């Protein structure tokens, strides 16, 4: 039988392993949702970031990797309380029409559910600067 402390550590490790999950919307293809663990109170509003992307887009793949790394860095600009949702524009004709020539596109989901498109991030930016720019966008 595990002691209480060991069981808590095992549960935390299991939760960390499950931080990358799949969200299913019946009208669209499956998409990845990266949900970093958050240890803040439940009273805190969930903050959401959307990445519009498509398969085979090397700029999109590069930004996804930088975002995954940026979400794992702690510190004053931590993104641990932000949920990242990656949307495949080929699964929705409206998204494809709106973003086909612009991807990758990042959007901040506002409290009323609308989206605010964020300024384009240069592919040359380092992970720390990507993290700082996203954190700054959510402070506004």
Domains identified in the chain and CATH numbers? 47-139 (3.40.30.10)
Q: What is the pLDDT of residue 45?
A: 60
**Arithmetic mean of pLDDT, 65-84:** 92
Give the pLDDT confidence of 79-101 residue by residue, as tens digits: 989 999 999 999 999 999 999 99
Q: What is the pLDDT of residue 124?
A: 95
Structure tokens at 62: 């590069």
Q: What's the rounded Cα separation, in Å, for the pair 71 and 79? A: 5
Q: How confident is the model at residue 126 (pLDDT cuts 50, 70, 90)?
A: very high
Q: What's the rounded Cα separation, in Å, for the pair 54 and 16? A: 27
Q: How confident is the model at residue 46 (pLDDT cuts 50, 70, 90)?
A: confident
């Amino acid at each position: 039988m595990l002691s209480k402390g060991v069981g808590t550590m095992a549960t935390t490790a299991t939760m960390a392993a499950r931080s990358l999950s799949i969200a299913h919307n019946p009208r669209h293809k499956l998409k990845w949702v990266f949900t970093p663990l958050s240890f803040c109170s439940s009273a805190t509003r969930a903050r959401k970031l959307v990445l519009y992307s498509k398969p085979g887009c090397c700029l999109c793949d590069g930004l996804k990797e930088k975002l995954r790394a940026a979400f794992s860095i702690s510190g004053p600009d931590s993104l641990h309380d932000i949920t990242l949702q990656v949307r495949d524009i080929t699964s929705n004709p409206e998204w494809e029409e709106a973003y086909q020539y612009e991807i990758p596109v990042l959007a901040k989901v506002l409290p009323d559910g609308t989206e605010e498109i964020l300024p384009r991030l240069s592919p040359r930016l380092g992970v720390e600067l990507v993290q700082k720019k996203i954190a700054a966008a959510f402070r506004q």
